[in-house]
Structure 1
Amino acid sequence: MSDAGAALDAEVARLVGKGYAVESRTESQAVLVRKRRIGLFWNVVLSFITVGFWLIVIAYRLINRKSDRVVLTVVNGRVQRS
C-alpha cells in the first residue's frame, strides 16, 4: 500500500471513530456520511410543556433528518477534505 493510501486509511479511520460511516471507497477517494443528531433534552421539555403537541415536530424532524457528507480525496500524496 502506498503512503497516500495509508494516509487516506488513517483519515477514514479517524472520521469513522467520530461517527461517520463509509458510503463508498476507491483507492484515491472516500465518501463518508453521518446523520445529524436531534437534541433530546429540549425536545422532551417542549413535549411536556405543550402536552405532547411537540411530538409532531419531533416526528417530522426524525423523518427528514439531514446528513453530513464528507469527501476525502488524495491529491499529490495528501488527503484533501471537501
Structure 2
Amino acid sequence: MSEAGAALDSEVARWVSKGYAVEARTESQAILVRKRRIGLFWNVVLSVITSGIWLIVIAYRLINRKADRVVLTLVNGRVQRS
C-alpha cells in the first residue's frame, strides 16, 4: 500500500471513530455519512407536557432524518475534505 493510500485510510479511520460510516470507497476517495441525532431529553419532556401530542413531531423527525456527508479525496498525496 502506498503512503498516500495509508493517509486516506488513516483519515477514514479518524472519521469512523467520530461516528461516521463508510458509504462508498475507491482508491482515491471515500464518502462517509452520519445521521443526525435527535435529542431525547427535551422530546420526552415535551411529550409528557403535551400528553403525547409531541410524538407526532418526533415521528416526523425520525422519518425525515438528515444525514451529514463528508467526502475525503486523495489529491497529490494529501487528503482533502469537502
The alignment's TM-score, normalised by the length of structure 2, stands at 0.98
Question: What number of residue pairs does the alignment pair up?
Answer: 82
| Structure 2: distance between partners of 1:59 and 1:26 | 36
1:30 deviates by: 0.3
Q: Specify every segment of 5 or more residues in structure 2 that has no aligned partner in the other structure, as ranges.
A: none
Residues 14-34 of structure 1 show CA distances to partners (whole Å, capped at 9, x for unaligned) of 111111110110110000000
Helix, strand or coil: the match of 1:19? coil
Give every structure 1 segment of 4 or more consecutive aligned residues whose post-TM-superposition deviation is greater than 4 Å: none
Residues 30-81 of structure 1 show CA distances to partners (whole Å, capped at 9, x for unaligned) of 0000000000000000001111000000000000000000000011110000
Matches within 5 A, 1:13-28: 13-28=13-28
Helix, strand or coil: the match of 1:7? helix
Matches within 5 A, 1:1-80: 1-80=1-80
Superposition CA RMSD, Å: 0.5
Helix, strand or coil: the match of 2:19? coil
Structure 1 vs Structure 2: percent identity of aligned residues?
87
Q: Specify every segment of 5 or more residues in structure 1 that has no aligned partner in the other structure, as ranges.
A: none
Helix, strand or coil: the match of 1:11? helix
The alignment's TM-score, normalised by the length of structure 1, stands at 0.98
